Amino acid sequence: MKARTVFGLLRLGAAAVCLVALIHRLAWGLASNTIASQNFFAYLTNQSNIAFVVLLSIAGVIALRRARDPRWLTVALALVLTWTITAGLVFAILVWQAGLRGIRIDVPWSDQVLHFWLPAVTVAAWALAPGHRSVPWRVVPVALAYPVLWGIATMIRGPLIGWYPYYFLDPRQVSGPVEFLVSAAIALGTFAAVATVLVLISRMPLPRRLRSEAEHSARRSTKEQVPIDERVGQT
């Protein structure tokens, strides 16, 4: 089986695992009374993972049918991975801080999958996938647009329902505007740092075997797309 086909199947498998984890996390939250159904989709983690499921499903089909990923797919994957990885880092910090304060936070397997395992495995697979393209640097500022819009929407919705997805967004749980602004700046800085690392990873050379196979598949795909009359003229 060709490496490109393997990566296509891995993408589809990761999308399926993510979907199952999202469903389990919702069911677990409702059963344990730790989240209201209307608030489940307000989390940046859950929103970005829904985008992850859709995008990775599309990416899997493309990998099975094409020798190279289109540029838009590479950019979209970098953006979604930036959001999911940063959400995982923030979640890890929140769990760590809660432990220091003696506050217990139960972490079901679905949370571990959504916040840690899937992003890590996907980045590794994406960096090694034959046919992937380098990510342009403009992705770094673009990656900040969604968190900013999400934050604005959250700050508008929060006072209306009396609930915030993260404590550092809740005015009742921070010392004042300074702490809020510092937390927001750190969060945005983390998004930018993760996006920068992903851009650098995308520009790393593939292992020789994978690179040779990707180049061979790309040449074969290009040859198959040349019209018959042009091929005759070239011989």
Per-residue confidence (pLDDT) for residue 218, from 0 to 100: 46
Question: The tokens 């198959």 sit on which residue?
Answer: 224
Per-residue confidence (pLDDT) for residue 223, from 0 to 100: 47
Residue type, 75: V
Domain boundaries, the chain: 3-206
- Residue 133 in contact with residue 74, Cβ under 8 Å? yes
Per-residue confidence (pLDDT) for residue 173, from 0 to 100: 87
Tokens (6 digits) for 87: 């959400």
Per-residue confidence (pLDDT) for residue 226, from 0 to 100: 40
- Distance in angstroms (rounded) separating the CA atoms of residues 120 and 122: 6
User: b vs e for 102-117, b when ≥16 Cβ sit within 10 Å of the residue's Cβ?
Assistant: eeeeeebebbebbbbe
130: number of Cβ within 10 Å:
25
- Distance in angstroms (rounded) separating the CA atoms of residues 124 and 118: 10
What is the value of pTM for the model shown? 0.81
10-residue block means of pLDDT along the chain (235 residues)? 84 94 93 84 93 95 90 92 91 80 81 88 75 85 96 94 89 89 92 94 68 49 43 35
Please provide residue 134's backbone torsions phi and psi, each rounded to the nearest 5 degrees.
-75, 150
- Distance in angstroms (rounded) separating the CA atoms of residues 105 and 99: 8
